[in-house]
Amino acid sequence: MAFTEKQEALVKDSWEILKQNILENSLRFFTIILEIAPAAKAMFSFLKDSDEIPQNNAKLKSHATKVFKMTCESALQLREKGEVIVSDTTLKYLGSVHVKNGVIDLHFEVVKEALLRTIKEAVGENWSEEMGCAWGEAYDQLAAAIKAEMKQEA
Ligand code: HEM
Ligand code: ISQ
């Protein structure tokens, strides 16, 4: 199904809201990931040695921000080109980072759920099912590209 201008706008507009409070939303994103999959904690270098999620960790914030931004970028590409294209170098790098850290396909569902819940909480009354579907589709296509690269790597 074609990705519409409306869907792209839903993603963009909610990202504008989300980024106003990016530190808090990054922490929330991460907290939900660990609520769903506590074992994921061991995979992240910035968590390994702490009992709690560090409240002001630059890496956590920048990585989480990248996940949101890359998903937004995917929404734009889906609308413009009908597919998600990640630059070769970025894809190779992300493929290897995720393989190296022991990420498996199933984890992508966890991150998706956490991403959608973070956005839902962040936008409050502006949330709609349609908004969730738009983010979900952009995420799925991005995840498919990373997963395919991970299979090449493995
Ligand atoms: C690292 C994006 C899915 C676990 C990263 C980084 C980015 C990223 C940008 C930082 C790389 C760097 O600069 O060093 C994404 C995107 C995803 C995705 C866009 C989905 C579309 C996942 C999933 C997991 C995961 C499903 C598993 C729970 C990790 C881990 C690291 C990482 C363990 C290394 C963090 C560290 O210790 O530095 N990811 N990721 N990612 N990601 Fe993901
Ligand atoms: C890396 N990959 C996927 C999700 C993430 C969430 C928070 C911080 C880093 C991440």
Q: What is the pTM of this model?
A: 0.96
Residues 51-91: pLDDT tens digits? 888 888 899 999 999 999 999 999 999 999 999 999 999 99
- Atom of ligand 1 at shortest distance to CA of 107? 26
- The residue to mutate among 30, 46, 53, 67, having the most atoms of ligand 1 within 8 angstroms of its beta carbon, is 67
Atom 4 in ligand 2: which residue has the minimum CA distance?
A: 64
The reply to whether ipTM tops 0.85 is yes
pLDDT of residue 99: 96
Mention every residue, 6+ apart, whose C-beta is less than 8 A from residue 99.
150, 153, 154
Question: How much distance in Å is there from the Cα of 108 to the middle of ligand 1?
Answer: 10
pLDDT of residue 1: 67
- For 52, the 3-state DSSP assignment is coil
- Taking each helix axis from N to C end, the angle separating 105-123 and 22-36, rounded to the nearest 10 degrees, works out to 140
Pick the closest to residue 22 from 72, 65, 86 (CA basis): 65
Residues 5-55: pLDDT tens digits? 999 999 999 999 999 999 999 999 999 999 999 989 999 998 877 888 888
